[in-house]
Every structure is written in structure tokens, then in C-alpha cells.
A = this chain, B = another copy of it.
Amino acid sequence: MSQPEYQSISPSDFFYRNREIAGFSNPSRATYTAVRELIENSLDACEARLTPPDIFLRISEVEDQKDTETKIYILRVEDNGTGLPAEHIPKAFAQVFYGSKYELKQARGTFGLGVTMAILYGQISTDNPIIVHSKTAGSKGVKYRLLVDVENNRPIVEHFEELNRSEDGTTVTVTLKGDLKRAQERIMEYLKLSTISTPSASIRLSISGDVVMDFGGYSDTIPAPVKISLPHPRAADLELLRRLVQRNGTKALHDFLCESFQKVGPKTASKFVQFMNMDSRKRVGEMEREDLASLGTALRNYDGFERPDSSCLSPIGKQEFIHSIATQFNTSLTHYSMRGPCEWQGHPFIVEAVLATGDEFPRSDTPSLYRFANRVPLLYDSNDGILMRVMKRTRWARYNMHTSVPVALFVHVCSTRIPFNAAGKQSIASVHEIENELQLLFKELGRKLSNMTSKVQASAREAKKMREFSRLFRQIVRFSASLAEHEEVPSTEKLVQTLFEVDSDA
């Protein structure tokens, strides 16, 4: 009956205790997640530099280990990205919830958690620090050896030196206990799919010194840089509103609205304030809490605002998506569809997908699903995410899908905020707005497939009819020729073809 002890723990400590939440549940999954987080970071850094990503992932075993399933590995990821300013390196790598991606734009990583988790996992499983060697434009380059102070969520700098590096970019080396044997296939799949969603990226994988495979380099075009956007008024929950008022409290309501939100110009602001029946010159800093609350409600519910700006988004695009899929898989037919920009709670999003047929895909009565979120392939935990759920709910049989034609569905959701189910970022939570658009997208693709299949089938029927007719006609012509005592049987082919107007190859 005694009262228990109360204590506060740091976010590092929380994720140290619950590393499964961040995708580090067992040695093979941890190996996969560490690779994924490092590659994700590198791709973001390269795109920020507007440079085709050129990434080299090296995995090697530490020597002289017992031959067990879990071993100590060194992961080394080298990129040609922007590099990190020396002063930010310790926190960016070794402090949970510290990062540069908390702004409103599409990015692969947005949590400020992933790479730090990889370090933390390495540290607790092997006691090794991480090594970061980075160079930004105009600087010489620096090298750090870092650990995480878990109880205080602070970086520990074990070593620092200025160390020249010829090119801009970052090299990160993590030592961790993993299971490469079990993880390797997934890692290869991850790299392959990463270059489908980022066709300009080249990634080289070497294991124990041998180049295992080169991925990507399907395009020289770098996606246009995404813009950082202001929040949309429909994202104005009371927390956001309070923060904006804190920053802009001296502004009159009308100007406050124009300057704090996207899609609110002077005209829209005036209309909205009129609709609210409020004084447009009132300073927001002086508004009562209740007024602020009703302002928030009104902002979220007013239907006079335009859709959110999508210049902060970077979909893969029809050409690139189809091209990179076709390069990796032996596809025969491909269809692309996209929907959006739409919006969930003020966050813009786009869904795009390619439906492809090809002999490499498994035969099934539903398409094989390949999932991407903000250009990151999702390989785990598919079953509880909305992408799989909506795919399964779609009645593919209606669209003439048969086990005879292997079909795959590649689907990409991009948004300023992806509602992931877990910090391991493997599946998308059930958000109605996104679910609805996916449903419509998949139906659209289904209809395209159906049209196409029925055309193929109709054409096959016509061709069969023609062959049959042609055979009979030929017999009649031959018979007529022999009746008329002609020696030469006239050709019938052209005639038949004109009659049916179909390609006899079909």
C-alpha cells in the first residue's frame, strides 16, 4: 500500500527501454533498421544539395568472432550530400528529438530519432562509439567520435578533430550486434526499391570488401527542391495557434492570419473575419483564451480556404516512376495514376501508383503490393497499414484480374507529415482522408487494367474468329478454284485482314 517511486526519464531513456518501438526488436530487424535510417539520412542530404545521390554502403564483420547467428558488424555509409555543420553534428547524431526536419516540407526522416537510435543500439550492444566524418561546402571537414548520454539525452563527444575530406558529404560508421544473414535479403530489397522511388540515386553495396551490387542511377534529373510552407489554416489546432500568437502577438487579427498561414491572402482574411464576426484590427496577443479557441474551431471548419499548397511535396511522377519500375522488373504493361494534392488535417498529400503486369511478379488474385512513403520503401508490418487494407478491400476480380496475369501495385504516399503507426515508420495509420483517396486511386487503376484486359481479350476473340474464317474461306476459295479449273489458288490473306481489321499477331 506504500506509494511507489515517481521518476522522470529522458526521451533517450524511453527509447533505450523500448527500442522495439523504433524498429530495433531483434538482431536482424535492427541491422535492417540501422541501414535504412542511415541511407534515408544520406538521401535527404543529397537532395538538399541538389545533387544526384551517390551512396556507398559497406558492411563488414568484425574479425575473430565465434560463428553464431548474431555477430558484430561495422556499417559504413558514405554520401555526397550537403554535410553537416560541425557545431550541429553531436546533437544531430547523438540526441533524440534534435534535427533539421521539423519544418513543413516533405522529407524522408522527420522524427529526429532514427539515426540516434542506430547509434544507441550500437552503443548498448557493442559499447562502440559512432564515427562521423563530414564536410560542408566551404569547410575543410571534421571528424567526431560520439556516444549518447542516455540518462540525460545529450551527446558525449569522445573525440574531435579537423580532418580534411576531398568532397562535400558525410560518412557515418556504426558498430552494432546484428544478424546479416537474416537481414541481407531485406536490405537488398530496400536498396533496390529505394532507387525506384529516387531514380537519380546510385547506391553501391559491399559486404566484407566485395561489391555485392550496384543499384539505381536510372535518371539524371534531380527532383525540384521542395519548399518549406506555412501551416494551412485547417491544421490550426489550439497548440499551433497558441504558438503562432506567441510569435506574432502584436499583429492585428487580419494581418496575423495573412502572415501565419498559407492560402490566406488579404481578401480571404477579410471574408473569414467577417464570417467570424470579429474585429479584424484586434491584436491577437490580447485575445481572450475563449476567443482564441473559437478562432481555432472556425479556422478548422471554414470552407472558404483553398487546398493546401503542394510545392512542399515531391511526388515521383509518371515518367520516372514507370521508367524505374520497368528498369528493375521485367514489366509488360504499366499504368500510372495519381490523386491530389489533397489534405488531411491541413497537411497536403499526394497518392500516386503504378499498376504493372510482368512475369516476375507472383501470380495471385490480388496484386503484389510495393509500398512507399515520402520516397522511402516500407518493407515490414504491411498487414496493419492502410495501404494493404485498401488494396485488399479493392475488388480486383471485378477488374478482370486473374491468377493467369501476374500484377504488381507500386504505391507512393507523400505528405508534409506521414501518419506512421509506429516510430519504426513501417506502416501508415488509418486516416480517413488518405484512405479515401487510396480507394479511389486503386479503383481508377483497376478500371484501366480492366479496359486493357478486355481490349486484349476482345482482340484475342476477333483474332480467333478471323483465323477460323480465314481457314474456311481458304477452303472455299481452293474448292472454287478447282471447280473453275484454275491452277493457281488466289491469295485470300489481304481480303480477310481487311474484313477483320485486327492484328493477326494478337
Interface residues of chain A, those whose CB is within 8 Å of chain B, are 1, 3-11, 13-14, 16-18, 20-21, 25-26, 29, 48-50, 82, 85, 88, 91-92, 95, 97-103, 111-113, 123-125, 127, 136-137, 150-151, 237-239, 243, 289, 292-293, 296, 380-384, 417, 419-424, 427, 429-432
Q: How far is the CB of A428 from chain B (nearest CB, A)?
A: 9
Q: Are A419 and B127 in contact (CB under 8 A)?
A: no
Q: Are A238 and B429 in contact (CB under 8 A)?
A: no
Complex contacts, A3 vs chain B, CB 8 Å? 82, 85, 100, 136
Given A6-B99, A25-B421, A26-B432, 14 more A-B residue pairs with CB atoms under 8 Å apart are A1-B50, A3-B136, A5-B103, A7-B99, A8-B91, A9-B98, A14-B111, A14-B112, A20-B419, A20-B421, A25-B429, A124-B237, A151-B243, A422-B423
CA separation between A292 and B21, bound complex, in Å?
28
- Nearest chain B residue, comparing its CB with the CB of A8: B98
Q: Are A97 and B293 in contact (CB under 8 A)?
A: no
Complex contacts, A97 vs chain B, CB 8 Å? 8-11, 13-14
Q: Are B21 and A100 in contact (CB under 8 A)?
A: no
Q: How far is the CB of A135 from chain B (nearest CB, A)?
A: 13
CA separation between A380 and B384, bound complex, in Å?
9
- Nearest chain B residue, comparing its CB with the CB of A427: B384
Q: How far is the CB of A44 from chain B (nearest CB, A)?
A: 10
Q: How far is the CB of A399 from chain B (nearest CB, A)?
A: 25
Known: A383-B383, A420-B21. A430 touches B50 (CB 8 A): no
Q: Are A289 and B99 in contact (CB under 8 A)?
A: no
Complex contacts, A432 vs chain B, CB 8 Å? 26
Q: How far is the CB of A417 from chain B (nearest CB, A)?
A: 7
Q: How far is the CB of A352 from chain B (nearest CB, A)?
A: 22
Q: How far is the CB of A139 from chain B (nearest CB, A)?
A: 11
Q: Are B26 and A238 in contact (CB under 8 A)?
A: no
Q: How far is the CB of A472 from chain B (nearest CB, A)?
A: 53
Complex contacts, A13 vs chain B, CB 8 Å? 97
Known: A124-B237, A384-B381. A102 touches B430 (CB 8 A): no
Complex contacts, A9 vs chain B, CB 8 Å? 97-98, 102, 112
